[in-house]
Each structure stands twice: as C-alpha cells, then as structure tokens.
C-alpha cells in the first residue's frame, strides 16, 4: 500500500505527457507554437548543462526561499501574539481580511519604487504573498489547541508565554508546516510572475522573457516553465516528507480519529 500513491502519481504524469504528445503530433495544435512534449522535455534536460540558465534558476530559488523564510518567521510570531491577546486578534481581523486578498502582482510598481534592487523587491512580494497562508493556518491551529492541556499547565503556575511555547506551538506545528507548504507554491508563482512582469531579465521569469525575444523560442520557454514546475514539485515533496517524519504522531492521531 505504501507505493500506491507514488505509482498512481507516476501513471498520471505519464498519461498527461502522452496526451500532450498526442495532441501535438496529430496536428490538433500547431507545432510552431506548441512543440511536442518530448521536445520540450529533452530541451529541459539539456538545460542542466547550461551554466547561465542554472545561475538564473539559483537566483529565483534564493529570492523564493528568503521570502518564504521571512514570511514563516513573521507569520508564526504574529500568530502567537494575536493568539495570546484575543482583543488584539479581534482588532487585527479586519486589517488581515483587507490585506489578504490584495494580489502581490498589483504591488509590483510599489515594490520596485520602494526597494533599490530587483532581488529585494521580489523578496518583499514573496514575503507578502506567503505570509497569509501561514498566518491563517497558525491562527486556526492555535485556536483549536486542546484547552485541557493549557488549563493543566496553568494550574501548575505557568504563564501565557510558557503555555504558548510548551503546548500551543507544538500542537499547532503540523498545521503551520502545512501553511508553509501552501505558501511555498504561492511564493514560487509570485517570484516568477514578478520576474516576468517587472522585466528585470533575472531568474526563471527573465529567462522566459529572453526566450521570446527575436521571434520566440517556444521550446525554450516551455522548458523553462517545466523547470519552475519541477521546483514546485520538489518543494512540496520536501515539506511533505518533513511533515511525515517530524509529526508522525499527528498523522497517527488523524488516522485513529478517521
């Protein structure tokens, strides 16, 4: 049973690849604009030896992970503060609900004007977009912590801060990590989109823009998009593996309840 899910995922990937190849090979889509899936995949594999492209990928990853790390630290800290002070939580709820729906792409001009370098502006936008999934997950997780556990520590003379650090945060950690996993995907979309829209010529987004200059090279463009997808897949896999290993007790408890 352990290999059922990966096997099904592999079948789905092969099926999607085969369908994309069939659509282009049969002429349903013009090969001039959408190359066959096999051509795109081979181009993506060959990019492994392109030092310039790998440097651009590294730039995207660096900005992405920096923004995600800052968002995680800020969102968890803010979640703990709001959870410890219910009146502050109620006061901040309207602000959170107002800012959360604002798309990060709409803030690109502001970020470009505010920060001196493209990397800083991109990091700020990733930080903004990634903060909300982590914060919301943190708040809901802290709200659902077992009150008996908190009352037990309170009966032994522990204050608000020790209770948060000893009971609330460990209990909420699996849900916080789920928020980080969601935020990682959101952050990757934001950083690549920002590189595309801002036209900095850096990162994967910059590569996608350059691949369309001089008449366009759709195989290069789609291969670059494949790399972005691979990064997202790797991030999801890493966070899921960490969640299974670090919070095995949480998975066992969930299965027992089911």
Domain count, the chain: 1
Contacts of residue 36, Cβ cutoff 8 Å, sequence gap at least 6: 20, 21, 24, 25
CATH number at residue 104: 1.10.3720.10
Residue with tokens 């990060």: 104
Within a domain: 18: no
Within a domain: 39: no
Tens of pLDDT, residue by residue over 112-151, are 888 878 888 999 999 999 999 999 999 888 888 777 887 7
Instruction: Give the domain extent around 192.
Output: 62-257
**What integer is the mean pLDDT of 217-232?**
86
Tens of pLDDT, residue by residue over 48-83, are 888 888 899 999 999 999 999 999 999 999 988 888
Within a domain: 27: no
Is residue 107 classed as helix, strand or coil in its secondary structure? helix
Within a domain: 19: no
Q: Which two three-digit tokens encode residue 171?
A: 């209990």
Mean pLDDT of the chain, nearest integer: 83
Within a domain: 158: yes
**What integer is the mean pLDDT of 238-244?**
84
Within a domain: 119: yes
Please say if the pLDDT value at position 254 is more than 50.
no
Within a domain: 192: yes
Tens of pLDDT, residue by residue over 17-39, are 888 888 888 877 777 778 888 88
Within a domain: 28: no
pLDDT at 258: 38
The per-residue DSSP string of 184-250 comes to HHHHHHHHHHHHHHHT---HHHHHHHHHTSTT--HHHHHHHHHHHHHHHHHHHHHHHHHHHHHTHHH
């Amino acid at each position: 049973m352990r290999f059922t899910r990966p096997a099904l995922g592999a079948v789905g990937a092969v099926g999607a690849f085969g369908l994309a190849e069939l659509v282009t090979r049969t002429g349903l889509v013009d090969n001039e604009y959408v190359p066959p899936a096999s051509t795109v995949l081979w181009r993506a594999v060959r990019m492994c030896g392109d030092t310039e492209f790998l440097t651009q990928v590294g730039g995207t990853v660096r900005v992405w992970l920096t923004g995600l790390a800052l968002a995680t630290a800020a969102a968890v800290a803010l979640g703990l503060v709001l959870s410890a002070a219910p009146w502050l939580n109620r006061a901040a709820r309207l602000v959170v609900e107002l800012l959360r729906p604002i798309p990060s792409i709409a803030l690109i001009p502001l970020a470009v004007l505010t920060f001196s370098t493209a990397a800083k502006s991109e990091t700020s936008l990733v930080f903004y977009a990634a903060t909300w999934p982590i914060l919301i997950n943190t708040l809901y997780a802290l709200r659902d912590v077992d009150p008996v556990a908190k009352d037990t520590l309170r009966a032994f003379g522990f204050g608000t801060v020790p209770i948060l650090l000893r009971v609330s945060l460990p209990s909420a950690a699996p849900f916080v990590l789920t928020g980080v996993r969601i935020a990682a995907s959101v952050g990757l979309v934001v950083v690549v989109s920002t590189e595309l829209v801002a036209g900095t010529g850096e990162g994967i987004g910059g590569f996608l823009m350059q691949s369309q200059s001089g008449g366009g090279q759709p195989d290069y463009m789609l291969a670059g998009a494949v790399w972005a997808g691979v990064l997202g897949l790797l991030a999801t896999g890493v966070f899921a593996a960490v969640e299974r290993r670090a919070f095995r007790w949480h998975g066992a408890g969930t299965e027992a309840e089911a």
